[in-house]
Homo-oligomer: A and B are copies of this chain.
Amino acid sequence: MSDKNAKKLLFTRQEMFELNKKILIKRGVSIESIAEISYQQQSKYTTDISRQICLESVEKILSLRDVFHHVQLACEIDRLAEQGKFEGPIQDIIYADLGLFGIDETMGLDVSGLYGTIGQTNFGDIDVNKHGIVKRLNEAGKEEGICHTFLDDIVGAIAAAASTRVAQVMNEEIANEEIGVTRLSIFDL
């Protein structure tokens, strides 16, 4: 009677955005805190960016199907590790966030490149140097009973993709100004 395909598997972008927002808040991450990393990162290269465009970018990214899968799985792996549900050596490796464990980074690299490869090197910077909420998640993750092994990377990756989108949008505006048009409607980012 139960059928592998009977369940709801496809969600609209609006639904995916809401589900991502909900699970992130449950795990202690606000959309604003992700946008703040993008803002700080992009401010190094451009002076007059607004927090609004960073926030919009994070929201747009959180509505993409691949990102939906990444966010949901990342949060669930961390939760299952907190509850000791993995069998074999991987339970302790994830729970303790072993330095040489890199699948969280593999997932982060996939998400961070969505708007261009420079997002992936920006993700590396965030991952190694631990900015903002990534730092707080990483430190909280060292406490007994808390596991943020995947969460801090997925959050850093979304921030990196968002700051890359901001760079793309701003450069598109500069390019349009150079040739004297305001904004093309066919191609949006």
Contacts and interface: CB of A to CB of B under 8 A. Distances in A.
A122 to B, nearest CB: 7
Nearest to A123: B124
A12 interface: yes
Contacts of A103: 69-70, 73, 107, 110, 117
Interface in A27-69: 45, 60, 63, 65-66, 69
A106 B99 contact: no
Interface string A85-105: 111111011111011111101
A87 B96 contact: no
Contacts of A13: 172, 184, 186-187
Given A2-B144, A65-B168, A73-B90, A128 B117 contact: no
Interface in A64-85: 65-66, 69-70, 72-73, 76-77, 79-80, 85
Interface in A131-189: 142, 144, 167-168, 171-172, 174-176, 178-179, 181, 184, 186-188
SS class, residues of chain A in contact with chain B:
helix
Interface string A7-18: 111111111010
Contacts of A110: 103, 106, 113, 117
Contact of A118 (B17, B77, B79, B105): B105
| 8 shortest interchain CB distances as A-B pairs | A124-B124, A102-B117, A7-B92, A125-B128, A13-B187, A72-B90, A10-B175, A121-B124
Given A2-B144, A14-B187, 6 more contacts: A9-B96, A65-B116, A69-B90, A102-B118, A103-B110, A125-B129
